[in-house]
Amino acid sequence: MDELEAAVVKLLADVDAVALFSPSASEYERFTDDDGVEVLVVGRENTVDSPAFVELPLEFADVRDRIRYGLEGAMEANLVDEGDTLACLLSVFSSDIDAVFRVRVGESVHVGIYGLFMNSRAEPNVIRDVLELVIELGRKGQKGEPVGALFVVGDAGKVMNKSRPLSYNPFEKSHVNVGDSIVNVMLKEFSRLDGAFVISDSGKIVSAYRYLEPSAEGIDIPKGLGTRHMAAAAISRDTNAVAIVLSESDGLVRAFKGGELLLELDPEAY
């Protein structure tokens, strides 16, 4: 038992702050009574009225995702800094806090996904479904071969007005949603062909094979990125959509919002 206690003490030693994920009022009070501990709360709602609160845009079943997005949101709100070490306490197997993770805030936490979800017109779960689809496509490719793809999510009416069809739209009279597993198989097949996918705020697949025609004037993207990325950045500036791109050349996933590159990640490392 002494060794167990020593291991727990070591786990919590010298942390810069404690992050409580969706704590009860009694759990929150127990930690805030300790004047030597800086406490921040992470959750869908601030039910304990914490002055240091980070909103989660979604319910994340995966513990790693929950912690990653919570800490990235804390960085966005300047509640923690890169290099800080946090004790993350959350409930995994019950309604009470029953798990502790020691996490050092670093570049692997701050990737831009939190900003992609928050304050976007499209529903956060729709953005997540599209992002997960693109990441999976980046890992597996199309029949083992690298593939490029562009998904424009949200503000579909305006996106359609700033684009034109390259071919017959297979989704023209359908009412399918991007979150459906069977539809995802279809999307992976269609990604072999030219043009962008257009997804509505609620996840309805509005169109495939769209040639985007926003103005690229004033758009500044990193050197080496091509026309697909330029179109993604431009359409995200001219509409309230976010654009998620899988690069065929380097295999990276990039997302644009408001005309700016918001995140860049390697599907194999994510």
User: For the segment 15-26, what is each residue's pLDDT rounded down to a tens digit?
Assistant: 999 999 999 999
40-44 average pLDDT score = 95
- Distances 200 to 29, 78, 177, 243, 265 between C-alpha atoms, Å: 42, 32, 9, 12, 24
Query: What is the CATH number that goes with domain 2-110?
Result: 3.40.1380.20
Task: Kindly report the pTM of this predicted structure.
Answer: 0.85
Tracing tokens 């993207």 back to the chain, one arrives at: 221
CA distance 131 to 68: 16
Looking only at the bridges linking them, the beta strands covering 149-153 and 242-246 are: antiparallel
CATH superfamily for domain 114-265: DNA integrity scanning protein, DisA, N-terminal domain (3.40.1700.10)
Query: Which tokens in the block code for residue 82?
Result: 């890169």
Res 11: pLDDT: 74
Domain limits, CATH 3.40.1380.20, in the chain: 2-110
Domain limits, CATH 3.40.1700.10, in the chain: 114-265
Statement: residue 110 has pLDDT above 70: no
In degrees and rounded to multiples of 5, residue 246 shows phi and psi of -105, 120
Tell me the range of 138-142, 184-188, 207-211 where mean pLDDT is highest.
Answer: 207-211
Statement: residue 70 has pLDDT above 60: yes
Statement: residue 159 has pLDDT above 90: yes
Going through 91-227 in order, the beta strands assigned E by DSSP cover 99-104, 149-153, 163-165, 196-199, 205-212
42-50 average pLDDT score = 94
Res 183: pLDDT: 78
